[in-house]
Amino acid sequence: MNEFSLIRHYFTGIGVDDPDVALAVGDDAALLHQAGEGYWAVAADMLVEGRHFPVQCNPALIAGRALRVNLSDMAAMGARPRFYTLSISLPKADTGWLQEFSDSLQRESRQFSVSLVGGDTTAGPLSLSIQMIGEVQKPLLRSAADAGDDIWVTGHLGSAAAYVAKGFPDAAADDFAFARFWQPEPRIGFALQAAPHIKAAIDVSDGLWADLGHICERSGLGARVEMSRLPFHAQLRQRCGDECEQLALTGGDDYELCFTAAPGERDSLQKIAAQHQLPLTRIGETTQQREQLCLNSAGKPVPVAQGGYQHF
Ligand code: ADP
Ligand code: MG
């Protein structure tokens, strides 16, 4: 049983049928009706030492990444992040470690204008879970794509996966990939401004192919992606050569946005991306036929190595 069927089977439809729950399990965040117009968007992401990052990592980096991956889910909903809780399990109360962690949390929280409002602390193996709460008027749902939409991605793909594949080198050994893994850029500003032009959106946490698959599944569509259009950093091409495309397709952890929009929105989207100095690439289109294809320059389907990262 994989991660997603496990969630569907054991954690979906629990509780009462509450009209204030606009959207429960299955998207980047849940949506709860606010008293006025709009919604609260609620998302949680957990990081476990030895699973999401190697043992004995710098606490400042861990704090930053934990916050940013949660902020990215807010961006994927078109939500403005506001508040969060932090639940943390610590092997010991090491004050040096905790001060570094806390200083970083403070810096990052101020940078993204969010406040820590609660949580829980226990002794145990190092793991941390952040629950982020944001506000949104027009949510970007995974289920909102239409056939014939353009498929877009922000930034570059595959760099964080290359970092993980190299065994998490330190910054001195590899500053290019280091920042992409430890300090992903939640695309909040872009998402908020571009939301009126976007239909469906997701953030690329498990790999483009898998995450685009979630949009396709929830929208009841397929997709055609042109391999030659996949955006990766020039430095990634230099070091990974022919592996770049597969890294860009299946490598997770980049936390870029993948979204769909009507073809008539191309100019507006590119203008907004330029204002945010954000590369924005149109990589393909959604299709009525429920099949996800990656095409080479001759228009022939190429196999995609694996379906992206999954626990279990
Ligand atoms: P993301 O990659 O955007 O963080 P996930 O793939 O982790 O999303 O989760 C998919 C969906 O399943 C989300 O809507 C998430 O809230 C939900 N989910 C995951 N684990 C649980 C759980 N233990 N209980 C309830 N919902 C869960
Ligand atoms: Mg997500």
Q: Dump pLDDT digits (tens) for 9-20.
A: 999 999 999 999
Measured CA distances, 77 to 27, 175, 196, 309 (Å): 8, 30, 12, 21
**Ligand 2 centroid to residue 75 C-alpha, Å:** 9
Nearest ligand 1 atom to the CA of 203 is 3
Q: Where are the alpha helices (DSSP H) in 117-207?
A: 159-165, 175-182, 188-194
Residue whose CB lies within 8 A of the most ligand 1 atoms, among 7, 42, 73, for a mutation test: 7
- Which residue's alpha carbon is nearest to atom 6 within ligand 1? 4
**Ligand 2 centroid to residue 67 C-alpha, Å:** 13
SS3 content of the chain, % helix, strand, coil (to 5): 40, 25, 35
Structure-token pair, residue 2: 């994989």
Contact 61, 101 (CB under 8 A): no
Pocket of ligand 1 (CB under 6 A): 7, 11, 25-28, 45, 73, 205
- For the chain, list residues with pLDDT below 70: 306-311
Q: What is the pLDDT of residue 288?
A: 98
Q: What is the pLDDT of residue 166?
A: 84
Which phi and psi (to 5°) does residue 281 adopt?
-125, 130
CATH number of 150-295: 3.90.650.10
**Ligand 1 centroid to residue 294 C-alpha, Å:** 26
Superfamily per CATH, domain 16-136? PurM-like, N-terminal domain (3.30.1330.10)
Q: What is the pLDDT of residue 310?
A: 65
Residue that the structure tokens 């760099």 belong to = 159
- Which residue's alpha carbon is nearest to atom 20 within ligand 1? 7
Q: What is the pLDDT of residue 122?
A: 97
Question: Where are the domains positioned within the chain?
Answer: 16-136, 150-295
Q: What is the pLDDT of residue 311?
A: 66
Which phi and psi (to 5°) does residue 49 adopt?
-60, 135
**Ligand 2 centroid to residue 142 C-alpha, Å:** 10
Cβ < 5 A residues, ion ligand 2:
28, 73, 76, 203
Q: In what order do the strands lie in the sheet with 39-48?
A: 21-23, 30-33, 39-48, 127-136, 80-90, 115-123
